[in-house]
Amino acid sequence: MTQGNEPYIALSGIKKAYRIGGEMIPIFSGLDLTIPRGDFVAVMGPSGSGKSTLLNMLAGIDRPDGGTLRIGTSHLDQMGEAARAAWRAHNMGIVFQFYNLLPMLTAAENVELPLLLKPLTRKERRLRVERVLDLVGLSGREKQYPALMSGGQQQRVGIARAIVSDPGLLLCDEPTGDLDRKSADEVLEMLRFLNRQLEKTIIMVTHDPQAALYARRTLHLDKGDFIEEKRAA
Amino acid sequence: MTFFDLARKNAWRKPLRTVLLMISIAVAFLIYGLTASFLNGTQGAAGASDDLLGVTSASGRTQPLPIAAMSRITADLDVAAAGYVARLRGFVDVEKNFVAVSAADPGLLMAVNGKELGLTPALIDAIGQARDKVLVGRALAEAQGWIAGQRVTVTAFDMSRQDGSRDWRFEIAGIFEGENAATDTYFMIARYDYVNAARVRGKDTVDAFVVRPRAGVSPGELAARIDTLFSNSATPTRTQSERQFLEAFLRQYADIGLIVNLVVGAAFVTLLMIVVNTMVFAVRERTFEIGVLKTLGFSRLDIVALILGETLFVFAVGGGIGLALAKLAATFAGPALGLVFSTPVLVKALAIIAALGLATGVLPAFNAMRIPIITAFRTR
């Protein structure tokens, strides 16, 4: 847990470059960012601006080349792969653009996946799954397979899977990018609910200005740095 | 849902592929179960003794020795006990259902070899009740489904009766168990006086003498002395320990055993390559999802366990079906084919299932374990 006024997420001097065709292409050359606990941040920017790279580093699935990256008390930039996997299992949920549900599992089984990594009994896992499916409005669809669900329903299963472990941080990668407006608004309402009522810290990468309005603030990334920051209405 | 459920559901993603894999595994283990049962049902050298000597003709084991030689053997003070055996080889019902009968003096056999065979005074009394009584070994009785009191007819391959028939009728007086599981009990013991009196040729001859040296006497030295005793007779002898004797006898089947092992080995190696190849492709198709699982917090070891669990599941089901079919075959066709599907055969097969299940999963599991999440996400 962070102490006093210390930000929940702190990135300092982050450097990241990718080798493309033998040439190093810099993405970040000293990025700084702080996010307090309970914030809901939309990250926008053109393609190639580093949004996904930022999200990957926050998720611990990519490492910065330089700088420090702390979330809570965990210094992700110093952790090995196994430690980062364990950190993800207990501290973070992720919502993907294309839901990324496993097709051979039912909605309930997909939601249960992260709980297999926790020391819970079968009954405890079932109760948690029922609770979050109810929270996202999918009670009664536990045994339905993803292929038989609409995009909006699949994304709600994805959100349920992301929050079933009760993580403090929720990372969303274009969560409404594959949805119609109505379904997108439902999903965004749900994210706002999770932020306001359950105090989840949410970082959402999006291209959709409408989606960004649901966040407490919006960060614009361009050429590897934040060029604008504003509070959402 | 459990980790195992997840592995199982992964295995069933492409049911046709999984079923075909299971069938190939089942066939391989059916072959293994049948061949192992065959070797198990036709061998017993492992349980043979080094201290028990067998005296046969130096001209070959099929050449008879006169029973009168018995007195010259027992005259040696280093002989604790001796007996004799005439072999009657034949079949029951069908020619493939081979049965071996050792015609002996039960009392002498009890003295020389009773402990190893598991003969008891009650069994010796039982066979002594009538000349056509026999004692049947446990393995043979189980394979044939015989019980005490039952009458059986053995049709001899080359030993005719005086009435011209080759059918020898016996009544089962009891079942002898053998000293332990390794003892060969796949034969029956008949009375020599009955067989000798009824046969046309070879009267008063035996196929072998069985000799137990006194305690502290070197079996090798006694064997050499016995052979010296008969070296200038009309029937020179060759004396070996029971183990040497049985191993030499079984050596004629050794090539079959080798061929069987090579065939089974080839089947398993082929199976290994097929399953590894299939699993590598199956896991590669799922690279993206492995990335998703890793993002959810599944560690590299969790991913390895998941894939090994999947290959173990496929092998357990396929191998289980193959072994069940082998057991069924041994149950219904065992007597005709000489198949004995014993617990050691089952345990060894289960160990092979586990070993192959793990071996086939190692390469795909290793590949999946190593792939970075970012790379996995680029595969969609």
One digit per residue, the tens of pLDDT, for chain A of length 233 reads 444 568 899 999 999 998 887 888 888 888 899 999 999 999 998 888 888 899 999 999 989 999 999 999 999 999 998 999 999 999 999 999 888 999 999 999 999 999 999 999 999 999 999 999 998 889 889 999 999 999 889 999 999 999 999 999 999 999 988 888 888 898 899 999 999 999 999 999 998 889 999 999 999 988 777 765 655 54
Retrieve residue A114's tokens.
Answer: 């992260």
Q: Look up residue A138 and give its two tokens.
A: 């999918």
Q: Give the Å distances, CA to CA, from B28 to A69, B296, B332, B363.
A: 54, 38, 20, 21
Work out the minimum CA distance from B308 to partner chain A, whole angstroms: 17
To the nearest whole Å, the CA of A37 is away from the closest chain B CA by 21
- Cβ of A89 within 8 Å of Cβ of B293? The answer is no
Separation CA A7–CA B223 (nearest Å): 93
User: What ipTM score was computed for the predicted complex, to two decimals?
Assistant: 0.90
Residue B52: Cβ within 10 Å count: 20
Contact B293 A90 (CB under 8 A): no
Is A137 domain-assigned? yes
Q: What is the pLDDT of residue A2?
A: 44
Evaluate whether residue A4 is within a structural domain: no
Q: Are residues B292 and A96, on separate chains, in Cβ contact within 8 Å?
A: yes
Asked if residue A74 belongs to a domain, the reply is no
Q: Does a structural domain hold residue A106?
A: yes
* Cβ–Cβ below 8 Å for B297 and A94: no
Alpha helices, H only, B69-191 = 69-74, 106-117, 121-127, 138-144
Given strand A217-222, what is the order of strands in its sheet?
A92-95, A169-173, A201-205, A40-44, A217-222, A225-231
- Whether A31 maps to a domain, the answer reads no
**B208 pairs with which residues across the strands?**
B85
Residues A53/A60, Cβ–Cβ less than 8 Å: no
Helix (H, G, I), strand (E, B), or coil: what is residue A70? strand
CA distances to A76, A79, A121, B10 from B20, rounded to whole Å, are: 45, 43, 35, 15
Examine residue A10 and state whether it is found in any structural domain, yes or no. Answer: no
Reference A54, options A78, A35, A36, A80; nearest CA is A35
Tell me the chain A residues in contact with residue B10 when contact means C-beta distances shorter than 8 Å: 104
- pLDDT tens, residue by residue, B210-224: 999 998 888 889 999
Examine residue A25 and state whether it is found in any structural domain, yes or no: no
Q: For A141, which DSSP code? A: -
Q: What is the pLDDT along chain B (380 residues), one digit of tens a residue?
A: 888 899 999 999 899 999 999 999 999 999 999 888 877 766 555 455 677 899 999 988 778 999 999 999 999 989 999 999 999 999 999 888 889 999 999 999 999 989 889 999 999 999 999 999 999 999 899 889 999 999 999 999 989 999 999 999 999 999 999 887 667 788 999 999 999 999 999 999 999 999 999 988 888 899 999 999 999 988 999 998 876 776 666 665 556 677 778 888 888 888 888 888 988 888 888 899 999 999 999 999 999 999 999 999 999 999 999 999 999 988 887 656 667 788 888 999 999 999 999 999 999 999 999 999 988 988 87
**Region label for B14, one of left (φ > 0), alpha (ψ between -120 and 50) or beta (otherwise):** beta
Tell me the residue range of the domain where A105 lies.
38-64+81-231
Q: Residue A210 sits in a domain of what CATH number?
A: 3.40.50.300
How would you classify residue B137: left for phi > 0, otherwise alpha for psi between -120 and 50, otherwise beta? beta
**Beta-carbon contacts of residue B369 (< 8 Å; ≥ 6 apart):** B300, B301, B303, B304
